[in-house]
Amino acid sequence: MNQIQMPSTEICDRARASKDARFDGLFFIAVRSTGIYCRPVCPAPTAKSSNVVYYPTAAAAAAAGYRPCLRCRPELSPELRVHGNENAMHRALAMIADGALDDGSIDALASQVSLSARQLRRLFLANAGATPLAVHATRRLLLAKQLLTETNLPVTEVALAAGFKSVRRFNAAFRESCGMSPTAMRRTLHNGTVGETLTLRLAYRPPLEFSKTLAFLSRCAIPGVERITENSYERAIGPADHSAWIKVTRAENKPELHLEISAADPRTIPDVVRRVRRLFDLDADLHSALVDLQSDHFLASSINNNPGLRIPGTWDGFEMMVRTVIESTSLIQSVVEHFGDHRSNAIAGLDSVFPTPQQLVNASLESNGIPKSHAVTVRALASAMLNGDIDFRAGQRLDEFVERATQLPGVGLWTAHYVAMRALNHPDAFPASDHTVRRLLGNGKPLSESKADAFSQSWRPWRAYALIHLWHLSENSNS
């Protein structure tokens, strides 16, 4: 089914009255008497029901002529990402969120989901309440609103960050969308800090086990490329000769992360935000997953104790897959040191750039102690990346990605599903051959891979979330 599953009117009414953050981004509230649309968590007095209209997306509310609220700030709302649904509508939404229309066309987007541009437009109007271009435009303008409010970037750079090549067009579009000019918006709401470092708020629907995600990421962190503590994630980004850095921490008493970005090109900000949201799975439809999984006796205790466990993502799919193939931290560090670049004027401990596919496609990895079988796989992966035979774009079908990945020498189903889970944030990826999973499902005596896969079918389309909880149960039983 292609329809976006907005909560029922009764649920929307209750969520609006209680300002329930679990529904943030799942619907938007438009108030006829004010011409404003809000998040369910808006602190403003609750409007009369007779004055309220609910919309599934911010773009739908904007298309109906409503302006974003200045108090609850819809630009902070988490994305609506319907996990596990691989139909055309939701794949296209995922691709738009991943930047498919930043430089691409509607025709190209429609082709990727096997529709004509006209069919895709009709589908979006019927289910998202706005065209694909309107969804994309609303995302850009809401990002601009956030940058005007939370940063000290000049309006010209805000326009560039939002994807506008003309400041005049940006000013006109912003005024039409928000009812005031960008400079007036900044005078009204600006609370950003002065300096080169920007701090952006990234909201999520609670709960979130932030510290446990950090702990997972720290076990496979790449020295020199990223640094992870009990409370933060850091890495240098950008080219070696102009390195910027980011730091992610958790906000106190709010369902938000704080993203610090230093010295970055404003045009890269949307991509940085997308990557961080994916890294911490901030747009997960976690409530739906838990409703479907919590009745399972294998998962119940972990879900009750850790309801905010999410899929630990990755900053870069190629980097993560190479790390998975090589496995050893010392060997991957050697690869980075010998084949990657060294950053100038970098923060201590974040002075390395992970090698690109171009740098690894013909690399003599065996000379660094990499087993020949692993070296062959890495070079084949680099070649496939350069040829376009494999990529890590959002909106891919799980079976298609797994098929392409397993065509690489040395890549089996475990690796393909594990990479799909972390690099694509695919919620139904499930490496059935995982020994820990098979042992848990067999109560100490490992099930066969086929039986583990059959057992997992009842968890669809949330098998990756089930996997994270199974791994967590295993860690607790071994501690």
Catalytic residue numbers read: 38, 434
| Residue 293 and residue 303 in contact, taking contact as beta carbons nearer than 8 Å | yes
| Residue 99 and residue 442 in contact, taking contact as beta carbons nearer than 8 Å | no
Element (H, E) at 322: helix 317-326
Q: Residue 439 burial by CB count (10 A; 0-12/13-18/19+): exposed, middle or buried?
A: middle
Residue located via tokens 């190479």: 322
Residue located via tokens 């990421």: 217
How far is the CA of 42 from the CAs of 69, 140, 142, 203, in angstroms?
8, 21, 16, 13
Instruction: Tell me how far apart the terminal alpha carbons of the chain are, to the nearest angstrom.
Output: 43
| Residue 44 and residue 68 in contact, taking contact as beta carbons nearer than 8 Å | no
3-class secondary-structure state, position 346: coil
| DSSP assignment of 100-114 | HHHH--HHHHHHHTT
Element (H, E) at 187: helix 182-189
Residue located via tokens 């409503």: 66
Quote the DSSP letter at residue 444. T
CA nearest 112: which of 93, 85, 131? 93
Cis peptide before 207 (omega within 30 of 0): yes
Token digits of residue 422: 């972390």
| Residue 76 and residue 93 in contact, taking contact as beta carbons nearer than 8 Å | no
| Residue 346 and residue 242 in contact, taking contact as beta carbons nearer than 8 Å | no
Token digits of residue 91: 């794949």
How far is the CA of 145 from the CAs of 97, 150, 171, in angstroms?
17, 9, 12
Read off φ and ψ for residue 363, nearest 5 degrees: -70, 140
